[in-house]
Structure 1
Amino acid sequence: MKTQNKTHLLHIDGLRAIAALYVVMHHAMLEYKVSPKGALQKIFLSLFKSGHYAVDLFIVISGFSLMLPAIRRNYEVTGVWDFYKRRIVRILPPYYIAMAFSLLAIYFLLDEKTGSLWDQCIPVTSKSILTHIFLINDLFISEVYKINHAFWSIPVECRIYIFFPFLLYVWRKYGPGASILTSIGIAVVLFITLRILRQDYPGIDMATAGVNPYIILFTMGMLAADISFSDSKLSGFADRLPWGLLLIAAGIAFVFYKSRVSFYSDVNGNIENEIVDVLFGIICFCLLVICSKEKYKHSRLAFIGKVFSFKPLASMGIFAYSIYLIHAPLLHMIALYVIAPLHLTGFTATVVLIFGGTALIVGIAYLFFLLFERPFLLKKAVKVENKQRMPSHV
C-alpha cells in the first residue's frame, strides 16, 4: 500500500494548538464563577464553554497521527511491544514530571480552597497519588480531578493505545468498517461493564472512565488518515464525496443534538453525551480529510487547511502536550498571585486570565517542553534513526 511521502503536516500541529489553547481558555473562564451582566458578557463567556470537545479533537488527531506510519507499513506496527514502549516514553515522563510540579504547587502555594475550579484538585491523599501514578484516577469520582483537573484524559488515551495494534490488525485483515465496528463494540462493552460495576461500587465515575466514546473518535482519526494518504479503493471512493457539505451537515447535527443535552449533568454516565462526542468527532474527521487530502489542496476548501497551517499557530502545536499538562496549576497561580491583587471585577479578571494568562502559560509551557518533553522526543527519534540504519538481518 503506497502513500504520499508527507514528513510533516502543519495543519495537524495547528489543530493541536487550537485544542490546547482552547482548553486553557475554557479553564480560565471557569476559574471565576462569574454571573454575566448583559448580553455581551453572556455571549463572550459562552465562547469558552465547550472545552470538553477540545479533548475529542486531541483524540481524533491521535488516531490520525498513529495511523500515518502504519499505512506506510501496510497497516502494521513495528512490533507491538516496541509500539507500547514508544508510547510510554512519549507520554508518561512529561506526565509524571507535570504531576510532581502540580503536587509541589499544591504543597507550597495552592493548598487552600478558594471557591474556584481548582478546589476539585485538593485535598490530595495517598489514594490520589497512587491512582494518578497507575493511571486509574479517571475511574473514581473522588480522584478523577485531584492533583490536576486536566489529568483525567491521560489514562483514557493510554488505554486506547493498548487497543491500537488490535484495531490495526482488524483493519488489515477485515477492512476499516470492521475496525470501526470493533471500536464501537469495545466502547459499548466497557460502558455496560462500568454501569454494572457502579451498582455495587457507586464511587465509579461513568462520565470520564474507560475508553468510551473516545476509542470511536480515535478510529475516526485512523479512517481520516487512510482516506487521505492511502491508494485504497476507499480513498478513491472518498474522492467523489462532497466533504464540504458533509462537514456542514455534521456541524448542524452536532449543534442540534447538543442543544438538547446538558453536558456534565450526570456522573452515572449519559449516553446522549456520548452521542454528542461522536458527532463532534465526525466534524473533526471531515476537517482532517479536507485539510489532508491532495484533492482539496487546490479547491475552494483549501483555505481551511491554510488557516490551520498558519506557522505561528502550528509552532505552538509542537508543544501542545506540555501546554495541556501544566496549564491548570499555572492558571490558578496567576489568578491568585497576579490578578487578585489588582482587585478587578469578576468579568474583567476573567478576560485578563483568558488572554493574558493563556499567553503567559504558553511561554512557560514552552520552557517545560524544552526541559521535560523534547529530550524524550529526541531520544525516540534517535532510536528510530538507529533502527533504520541497522542491517536487514538484525
Structure 2
Amino acid sequence: MAKPPLQGQSRLAGLDGIRGLAALFVVLHHCWLMSFPGFPSDNGPLWAGWLLYGHFAVVVFIVLSGFSLAVGPARHEWRLGGLARFGHRRTWRILPPYWAALVYSLIIAWTVVPQTDAGPPTAKSVLLYGLLIQDVFGAPSPNGAFWSIAIEAQLYVVFPLLLLVIRRFGAAVMACAVTALVTAVGALSPVVPAVALLDRFTPQFAALFAFGAVAAGVVGGHWRAPAPWTAAVAAVPVVALIAVQGSVWTVNHYFWVDLALGPAVGLFLAALAAGRPAPLVTFLDTRPVRSLGSFSYSLYLTHAPLVVTLHELVVAPHVPKGVPAFLTMIALAVPASLLVAWGFAAVFELPFQRHRSWGALRAAIGERLRPLRRRTSLPAPPYEPEKSATP
C-alpha cells in the first residue's frame, strides 16, 4: 500500500476550480447553441467548434462527483459513516438551491419565455422536476440544465452500495462490475426494447461515477497517484476519434464516447489531488478560479433560463445568427449569468454549505438580524411638552 500523503488535507487544491471552469463551459456551450442552429451539426466557425461539446462538461461533473463523495470514505477504509448522515448531507447540499432554481426557472418560463420547443411547463412539470424524477417521465422542461440533476441524485442512492462492494471485493471489482453492467445495457439497448428504456437514465454515468470513486483511493493512500501524462495518453485516442468522426457521430454515440473518456478524467483528478502538474494546480487554486468554483452549482442551475431569455428577447431580434450573435451572447449572457449565480448562491447555496442544519441556519440568520433588531427596538426619547413662545 502506498504511503497516504493526502490523508491530512481537508481541502484538495484545484477541485473547486475544475467545477467552476466546467460550469462556465456549459454556459458558453448554451451560448453557442443559441447562435448556431442545427445541432448536432457543427455550423459554427472552426475556432468555436469545441464549444459544441458541452455534454463533456457534465461528464467531468459526474466523475468529479464520484471522486468528491469518495474522498472521505477513502480516508476511512471506504466506510460511509452512516446512511442517515450521508443522506442528510446530500439532501441539504443539493435540494435547497435546486428547488429555489426550479421556482426561478418556472417564473421565467411562465412569464417571459418558454425554455424549450415543448412549450411552457405544466403542473406535471412542477411535480416531476420537484421530485427529481424528470428522467423517468416526460414533461416540458423549465430549465434545460436540470436533466443531469436527477441522474446525480440517483447516483447518490447507489453510492453506499458501491462502497460496500469496494470494502468486500476491492475497487477494481466494483469498477469492472459497474462497467460490465453498463456495457451490457449499451450493447442490448438497440435490439431489446425493454433495455432501451434504461437509456433515459444515461446509464454510462454510473460507470463514470464509479471511476471517480475509485480514483479517490489516491487520497486515502490506497494506491499511488498516476503521473499527469497518463490522463493525456488516455484522452488522446478519444479526442482523435471525435475529430475524425465529427460532431453528428459523436453526439449519436455519447454513450460509448463517455465511457471511453471517463478513465481519463479519473486519472486527471487523481493526479490533480496529488498536486500534479503543479502549474495547473496553482492556476486552478487562484482566487478568481476558486471563487468561480464556490458558486458553480448555482451557475449551472440558473444560467439556462437567462441565456434563453437574452437570446430570444435581446439578441435574436436585432443581431444576425452566427458569429455576430455568438459574440453578442458571450458579451451579455456570460457576465449576466455570473452575476445572477453569485447573488443566487449567496442566498440559496452558500448558507446551506456553512450551516448544516435548520437550527444552525436559524441561529446564523438570528445573529445577522440582531443588530437590525437592536436599532429598531431602541427606546423612544422621553416626551417633553412643547414650551410656549410666551412667558
Give TM-score scaled by structure 1 length: 0.80
Amino acid of the structure 1 residue aligned with 2:300: Y
Partner Cα separation in structure 2 for residue 72 and residue 223 of structure 1: 12
The answer to whether the 8 Å contact 2:71/2:220 transfers is no
Spell out the pairing of 1:308-347 with structure 2 (5 A cutoff).
308-340=284-316, 342-343=318-319, 346-347=322-323
Cα 1:110–1:198 shift into 2, 3 Å: farther
The answer to whether the 8 Å contact 1:25/1:355 transfers is no
Partner Cα separation in structure 2 for residue 153 and residue 98 of structure 1: 14
Which residue pairs with 2:384 in the alignment?
none
Offset of 1:49 from its aligned partner? 0.8
Alignment partner of 1:156 is 2:151: yes
Cα 1:312–1:372 shift into 2, 3 Å: same
Q: 2:207 aligns with which of 204, 216, 239?
A: 216
The answer to whether the 8 Å contact 2:235/2:264 transfers is yes
Partner Cα separation in structure 2 for residue 124 and residue 341 of structure 1: 24
The answer to whether the 8 Å contact 1:63/1:218 transfers is yes
Amino acid of the structure 1 residue aligned with 2:220: S
Partner Cα separation in structure 2 for residue 314 and residue 72 of structure 1: 24
For the residue of structure 1 that corresponds to 2:14, the secondary structure is helix
Which residue pairs with 1:132 in the alignment?
129
Which residue pairs with 2:165 in the alignment?
170
Cα 1:381–1:75 shift into 2, 3 Å: farther
Offset of 1:63 from its aligned partner? 1.1
Superposed CA offset, 1:2-32 (max 9, x none): 6521122231011001110000000011113
Offset of 1:357 from its aligned partner? 1.1
For the residue of structure 2 that corresponds to 1:119, the secondary structure is coil
Partner Cα separation in structure 1 for residue 50 and residue 185 of structure 2: 33
Which residue pairs with 2:261 in the alignment?
280
Partner Cα separation in structure 1 for residue 127 and residue 27 of structure 2: 26
Superposed CA offset, 1:27-65 (max 9, x none): 011113358xxx996113313111000000011111111
For the residue of structure 2 that corresponds to 1:252, the secondary structure is helix
The CA RMSD over aligned residues, in Å, is: 3.2
Cα 1:186–1:87 shift into 2, 3 Å: farther
Spell out the pairing of 1:87-98 with structure 2 (5 A cutoff).
87-98=90-101
Q: 1:231 aligns with which of 218, 221, 229?
A: 221
Partner Cα separation in structure 1 for residue 95 and residue 141 of structure 2: 18
The count of aligned residue pairs is 355
The answer to whether the 8 Å contact 1:327/1:361 transfers is yes
Alignment partner of 1:67 is 2:70: yes
- Counting aligned pairs with the same residue, the percent is 29
Offset of 1:309 from its aligned partner? 1.9
Alignment partner of 1:15 is 2:5: no
Cα 1:85–1:263 shift into 2, 3 Å: farther
For the residue of structure 1 that corresponds to 2:216, the secondary structure is helix
Amino acid of the structure 2 residue aligned with 1:133: G
Offset of 1:68 from its aligned partner? 1.2
* Structure 2 residues not aligned, in runs of 5+: 361-391
Spell out the pairing of 1:247-266 with structure 2 (5 A cutoff).
247-259=231-243
Cα 1:325–1:169 shift into 2, 3 Å: same
Partner Cα separation in structure 2 for residue 194 and residue 135 of structure 1: 24
Amino acid of the structure 2 residue aligned with 1:356: L
Offset of 1:121 from its aligned partner? 5.6
Cα 1:305–1:266 shift into 2, 3 Å: closer
Of 130-139 and 214-223, the range deviating more from structure 2: 130-139
Of 73-82 and 359-368, the range deviating more from structure 2: 73-82
Cα 1:252–1:190 shift into 2, 3 Å: closer
Partner Cα separation in structure 2 for residue 382 and residue 61 of structure 1: 28
Amino acid of the structure 2 residue aligned with 1:213: Q
For the residue of structure 2 that corresponds to 1:359, the secondary structure is helix
Cα 1:365–1:87 shift into 2, 3 Å: same
The answer to whether the 8 Å contact 1:11/1:308 transfers is yes
Which residue pairs with 1:303 in the alignment?
279
Which residue pairs with 1:372 in the alignment?
348
Amino acid of the structure 2 residue aligned with 1:357: A
Offset of 1:231 from its aligned partner? 2.6
Which residue pairs with 1:6 in the alignment?
9
For the residue of structure 1 that corresponds to 2:121, the secondary structure is coil
Q: Which has the larger radius of gyration?
A: 2
Q: 1:122 aligns with which of 99, 119, 122?
A: 119
Spell out the pairing of 1:40-55 with structure 2 (5 A cutoff).
42-55=45-58
The answer to whether the 8 Å contact 1:190/1:211 transfers is no
Offset of 1:263 from its aligned partner? 6.0
For the residue of structure 2 that corresponds to 1:138, the secondary structure is coil
For the residue of structure 2 that corresponds to 1:231, the secondary structure is coil
Of 150-159 and 89-98, the range deviating more from structure 2: 89-98
Q: 1:183 aligns with which of 178, 184, 209?
A: 178
Cα 1:149–1:319 shift into 2, 3 Å: same
Amino acid of the structure 2 residue aligned with 1:256: A
Partner Cα separation in structure 1 for residue 170 and residue 55 of structure 2: 31
Partner Cα separation in structure 2 for residue 160 and residue 119 of structure 1: 26
Spell out the pairing of 1:82-121 with structure 2 (5 A cutoff).
82-111=85-114, 118-120=115-117
Of 54-63 and 180-189, the range deviating more from structure 2: 180-189
* Structure 1 residues not aligned, in runs of 5+: 112-117, 385-394
Partner Cα separation in structure 2 for residue 279 and residue 250 of structure 1: 8
For the residue of structure 2 that corresponds to 1:136, the secondary structure is coil
Partner Cα separation in structure 2 for residue 383 and residue 70 of structure 1: 27
Offset of 1:71 from its aligned partner? 1.9
